[in-house]
Amino acid sequence: MKLDGKVALVTGGSRGIGRAICLTYAREGAHVAVNYTKDASGAEAVVAEIKAIGGKAIPVQTDVSQRSQVKKMVADTLKAFGRIDVLVNNAGILIPTELMETSDEEWDRVMDVNLKGPFICMQEVSKTMVKQGGGRIISTSSISGLGCAPWGEGAYGCSKAGLIALTAAAAQDLGPHGINVNCIAPGWIKTDMTAGKSGAKADEVNIRKAGLAAIRRIGEPKDIADIALFLASDESSFITGQVIVADGGRVDFVSHG
């Protein structure tokens, strides 16, 4: 019970990596606010799973790029649980387009959700954490943000690189208040997002990606959730401003440089 009595707010918690983090946190004793934008049924299902194992959870609908909605999300979480100990910035979108074909609207939307959203959430949640005397902020970036963005991920890669820079800056600003800020950079993880990008050839792509990893498999959401658990726990109390790469040891580029 590494998070016994803690309260976690997880954005993008209705599916994929976010869902795995919500369930992992709940199993370790945390109360969880499961954020979603459109997938209400998915969020309700995660809440139901948590309650089925004796945990406490609420769904909170929010577009993280809208400050007024984020303020309400924070207020709803505090009303339900009284505090926020862990913020996980996991909500993200990918619009696969070549650089020359990317519209202003597509670029802005990716930046709004993937970079502006975490910025707003950090600001609003950290106000509560400062009053409490500390907390943990964890963001989900990507190896695409480490200069490894493949075709069609120009906007996505830039947004995730910005999130890594934001993590470093926030760690310095919030460290004196007892708030640790870290980032996870996943490689190819089996989620709805990667399946959607791969289309009908998802299975073929997964096999190819597994062959590019030193450990010869693709990642599962639980692989990232376990890292998020470590970063949320007291075991990581002396770690801040860091990016943990979890890509299975990709050999098609140097993601650890």
Catalytic residues: 156
C-alpha distances in angstroms, 1 versus 90, 103, 179, 182, 230?
22, 47, 21, 21, 12
| Tokens at 220, concatenated | 């599962």
Distance (Å, whole) CA 29 – CA 245: 26
Tokens 């692989």 locate to: 223
CB 219 within 8 A of CB 189: yes
Distance (Å, whole) CA 217 – CA 127: 40
Tokens 């007892």 locate to: 178
C-alpha distances in angstroms, 236 versus 114, 115, 192, 196, 242?
25, 24, 29, 34, 11
The beta strand positions in the chain, using DSSP E, are 7-10, 31-36, 57-61, 86-89, 135-140, 179-186, 243-246
Distance (Å, whole) CA 223 – CA 190: 10
Residue 57, C-beta contacts closer than 8 angstroms, at least 6 positions apart: 22, 26, 31, 32, 33, 34, 46, 47, 50, 51
Distance (Å, whole) CA 18 – CA 7: 15
